[in-house]
Structure formats: structure tokens, C-alpha cells
Structure 1
């Protein structure tokens, strides 16, 4: 069994090619620019790991992993537009560098090319793979819409937010693992457990992401720290703070949601610390991590074969960037 780092290096070599034609350069250069920003490539590598958990990595899996990575980057380009994000991985987002119309088209064409890679698959499981890919793609869009809907709502329950995160973030990680496992010949029970492992890991990952947006080191995190606060984005931390803040903290938080003073981020962080939501978020992350690891334990393969996935899980939820 290979580690995440080993497979990530191999995938990087495979993925580092021209995915688009040369012309029109004004469309395809922005798409290649965004792919060139890099990233952890967690989802495509999870597809490879899901395959290798049950069998040797098949040629088809590299095509599916590439489709996953292109789809993920398509969502990021569009998310950045919707979030008005200035930075991605420490560099200008596509819509800032090239304009929103071009960014929209660059994302669109990235999605189309993702299906070009899926069409290269020769596996007898092809239709099952495409069905899962499509279901997941729709769920990610549903999650993003719910995320935007929440911005207009005064209150959002923790359960509603968890459902949104499951759709927007977790299902793609879970499906990446399951797609690889399907190609590896996994049975139904194992497919269930590897999907649930990925889903719960994805939620823990998002809790950590919300936490880092507020308390991370901007030089490591690669995004604008406090961006969620400035946009009044409903996150685990804000929802919990709205539920638990009392007295002046509650009044101040409500006032800050209606205004944008220069020190808004610092004021909200003070309230978060007063209400203990920073510590609560760490506990919540650990709860979902434990659920994920239980499902990993329940997969019916030799324990040593699961070790790379166990190591990856710990890395994702303990990272500081």
C-alpha cells in the first residue's frame, strides 16, 4: 500500500499535462492558470487510495481521478465568484485576474473536459461510475445553493448547516473514495463503509476549515483569514456563537452582522473566544473524526491496508493550512 504522499506525487505527474487546446487562449489560459495554483489534490488521490484498498490501481482509475480533480476545480472557480474571494491558494482568483465572464466560462469548460476523461473509462462499472459522479455533482450544487441561501437567513440551525456541508463538501470526498473502491471491485458492505468514512471525514475537514478561516495563520492558510466573518457567512462557529452568546456579546454580535466596521474580524473573534466556540469546534471535529475512523475500521480488509487512509484522515483534520 502506498502513502497519500506517494500517490499524490504520482497523480501530480499524471495530471501535469495540458487539459485544454491552445485556442482561444483568452479562455483556456485562465483555466490552466487555476489548475497551476496546485492544491492538495485530496479528492483524486482518495479515488486512487479507494481503488488500491481493494486491488492494484487500474488505468481507468487515473481517468476518473482526473475527472474528479477537474470537477472540483470547476466548483472552486465558481465558488470564488459567488463568495467574491480575492485569493485562492495565496494567489489571485480567476475572476479577479481575468474577469467574471471569463471565469464562468473557464469553470464551465473545465466541467466539460472532466466528462471527456470519464468517457475514457473502459470498466464494466462505467454506468455505475457515471451515475455516482452525476449524483454527487448535483449534490455539490445543492449544497452551494443552500450555503448562499443561509447568507440571507437570520438563523440557521446546526442540523441544517451540517446537511449543507454534507452536500457541499463531504459527498465529493466520499464519492471519490467510493468511485475508486467500485473500480477495485469492493462489495456493497465495504462500499457503504468507505463512503461513510469519507462523508464523516469531510465534515470534520470542513469544521477545521471554518476554524482556520477564523484562527488560522494567513501565511499558511492561503486564503483571507476572517473572510467568512466579513461576508457574514453562516459557519459552524457563527451558528454556535448565535446560539450561546448572551448579554452584551449577543447584542454586539447581532450589531456586527448588520455592519462592517474596520475591526469587524477582531470583534467577532473576541466574541467567539468569550463564548468558547473555538474549543467547541475542536470537539465537534473530533466527534466526526471518530465516526469516520469507526467506518474505516469496519471495512473488511486487512488492517495494514487501511493505514494510509488512517494517516490521511489525521492529516486532514489536524492541518493548520
Structure 2
């Protein structure tokens, strides 16, 4: 069994292959530039790890993992356009550097490249892989639209926000694992359980991300604290605060989320702490983590083979600052 670090290094080496034609360079160079930014490659490596959980890694898994990573990067290029983000990983975003029209086409052709790798999957598996990949791709788009819809709404309840995060973030982690498991030859039950493991990891990770944005140490977290508050984003923290706050606190929170006060972040954080939102978020993350590990325990494979996945989940979910 390989560790995440070992498989990540192997995948990164294979992924350096040029995925695009040479001409027109004005279309394909932006994608080479974007992929050159790197990244953790968590999703494709999850596919490989799930494959190895049940069998030796098969050639199909490398093609599916590559398709997953290209799809993920397609979503990032388009997300950056929608968010009007100037930077990603400290570098100019594709639309900022090459223009919005080229960025849209570059993202589109990145998606086409993903399907070219899926087309290499053996006839034994291609129909089921394609069905799961397409379902996931559609759900990710639905999640992104819901996220944009929520920006225009005054109030979003917890279940609606959870559904959006599930679609936007969790299903791609979950299906990456399921596709790897499917290629490893395991049955439907194990596939469903490993999917749920990935889904709960995704939810726990988002709770952690929301928490760190508000309460993390900026030196360790790598971002300024309160970014979500400054940009008026609805998060797990805000939604819970609005559920438990007093009428006066609710009124003040709503005022703050439409203001540009220089004390906005500290005042919102003060209300969050009064409402014990930080403690609630830690408990919610812990709940999703424990549910994820229960799913991992339930997979019908000897425990030793599960260790790399458990270690990766702990690594992803134990940043405290």
C-alpha cells in the first residue's frame, strides 16, 4: 500500500504529460499556464488510493484520475471568472492574464480533455464510470449555481447550505473514491460506503475552512482572518449564529453584513463568540469526522489496507490554524 505522498508524487510526475495540442497556442497555453500552478491533487490521488484499497492500481485508474484532475481545474478556471478573482495560488488567474473569453474557452477545452481520458477506460468499466462522472459533474455545477443564488438571498437555512456544500465540494471527493473502488472490482455496497466516507470528509473540511477563516491564525492559515465576513459570505458560522442569536444580535449581524465598517470583522467575531459559534463549529466538524471514520471502518477490507486513507483524512482535517 502506498501513502498519499507517494501516490501524489507518482501522479504529479505522470500528470506533467502535455494534455493539449500545440495550435492554436492562444487557446492551449493558458491551460498549460494554469496546470503549471500545481496544487495538492487530492481528488485524483483519492481515486488511486481507493483503487489500491481493493486491488493493485490498474491502468484505468490513472486515466480516470487524470480526467478528475482536469475536470477539477476546469471548474477552478470558471469559478475564478464568476468570483472575479485576480489571483490563485499567488499567481494571476487565467481570465486576468488572458481575458475572459479565452478563459471560458480554455476551461471548456480542459473539460473536453478530461473526457478524452475517460474514453480510454476499458469497455468493462466505461459505462459505469461515465455515468458516475457525468452525475458528479452535473452536481458540481448545481452546487456552484446554488452558491451564487445564496449571495442574493437574505437568509439561507442550515439544510440548504449543507446541500450546496455537499454538491459543490463533497461529491467530487466522494465520487473520486467511488470510481477508484469501482475499478478495483469491489461490489456496490463497498462503493456506496467509500462514497459516504468521502462525502463526510468534504463536509468536515468545509466546516474547518469556514472556522479557520474566522478564528484561524493568519500566519499559519495563510489567509487574512475574516475574509468571508468582509465579502459577506454565508457560511456555516453565520447561519448558526442567526439561528441562536438574540433578536438584538441578529439585527446587528444583518446590519454588519451590509456595512463597510472598519470594525466589521471584529464586531461580527465578537457576536460569534458570544453565541459560542466557535465551539459549535468544532463539534460539527468532529461529528462529520467521526461519521467518516465509521464509514471507513464499515468497508469490508482488512484494517491495515485502510491506514493510508485514514492518515490522509486526519492530515486534511487536523489543521487547527
Tell me what 1:273 maps to.
273
Q: Evaluate the alpha carbon distance shift between residue 180 and residue 98 of structure 1 in structure 2; reply closer, same or farther with a 3 A threshold.
A: same
Q: Which residue of 2 aligns with 1:287?
A: 287
212-221 vs 188-197, greater mean Cα deviation: 212-221
**Gapped regions of structure 2 (runs ≥ 5):** none
Give the corresponding residue for 1:44: 44
Native 8 Å contact 1:54 1:184 kept in 2: yes
- Partner residue, 2:173: 173
Residue 52 of structure 1 and its aligned partner are, at CA, apart by: 0.2
How far 1:38 moved relative to its partner?
Answer: 1.4
**Structure 1 residues 310, 61: CA separation in 2 closer, same or farther (over 3 Å shift)?**
same
Comparing 217-226 with 258-267, which one deviates more in the overlay?
217-226
2:187 corresponds to which residue?
187
1:254 and 1:141 map into 2 onto residues whose CA distance is 29
Structure 1, residues 17-49: CA drift from partner, whole Å, max 9, x if none?
Answer: 222223322222221222122111110000001
Length-normalised TM-score, structure 2: 0.94
Partner of 1:201: 201
Flag the 1:84–1:246 CA change in 2: closer, same or farther, 3 A. farther
Other-structure match for 2:29: 29
**1:70 is the counterpart of 2:93:** no
Aligned partners of 1:25, 1:227: CA distance in 2, in Å?
Answer: 36
Post-superposition Cα deviations, 1:175-204, rounded to whole Å, max 9, x if no partner, equal 000000000001111111111111111111
Aligned pairs, how many?
A: 321
CA distance in 2, matches of 1:35, 1:213: 26
SS at match of 1:33: helix
Matched residue of 2:144: which SS?
Answer: helix
Match status 1:237 vs 2:232:
no
Partner residue, 2:138: 138
Q: Is the 1:182–1:191 Cα contact (8 Å) retained in structure 2?
A: yes
> Which residue number in structure 2 is paired with residue 9 of structure 1?
9
Distance 1:15 1:125 in 2: 22
State which drifts further: 176-185 or 31-40: 31-40
Change in CA separation of 1:206 and 1:59 when aligned onto 2, cut-off 3 Å: same
Residues 243 and 202 (structure 1), Cα distance of their counterparts in 2 relative to 1, 3 Å cut = same
Partner of 1:213, secondary structure, is helix
1:223 Cα deviation from its structure 2 partner:
5.3
Contact 1:87–1:222 (8 Å) recurs in 2: no
Taking structure 1 as reference, are residues 30 and 200 closer, same or farther at Cα in structure 2, changes over 3 Å only?
same
- Alpha-carbon distance in 2 for matches of 1:316, 1:74: 23
Distance 1:43 1:244, change over 3 A: same
* 3-state SS in 2 of match to 1:2: coil
Alignment of 1:254-265 (within 5 A): 254-265=254-265
Partners in 1 of 2:296 and 2:56 — Cα distance? Answer: 19
Alpha-carbon offset, residue 90 of structure 1: 3.0
2:154 match: 154
Mean Cα deviation higher: 89-98 or 287-296: 89-98
Quote the offset at 1:267 in angstroms. Answer: 3.1
- 1:102 is aligned to 102
- Tell me which moved more, 75-84 or 221-230: 221-230
How far 1:210 sits from its partner (Å)?
Answer: 1.6
Structure 2 Cα separation of the partners of residues 48 and 30 of structure 1 = 27
Secondary structure class of the residue paired with 1:53: helix
1:20 — aligned with what? 20
Per-residue Cα deviation, 1:4-27 (whole angstroms, up to 9, x for no partner): 111111111011122222332222
Residue 114 of structure 1, CA deviation: 0.5
- 1:238 and 1:222 map into 2 onto residues whose CA distance is 22
Seen in structure 2, the aligned counterparts of structure 1 residues 117 and 300 have a Cα distance that, compared at 3 Å, is: same
Q: Following superposition of structure 1 onto structure 2, how do residues 78-93 of structure 1 map, counting pairs within 5 Å?
A: 78-93=78-93
CA distance in 2, matches of 1:200, 1:296: 11
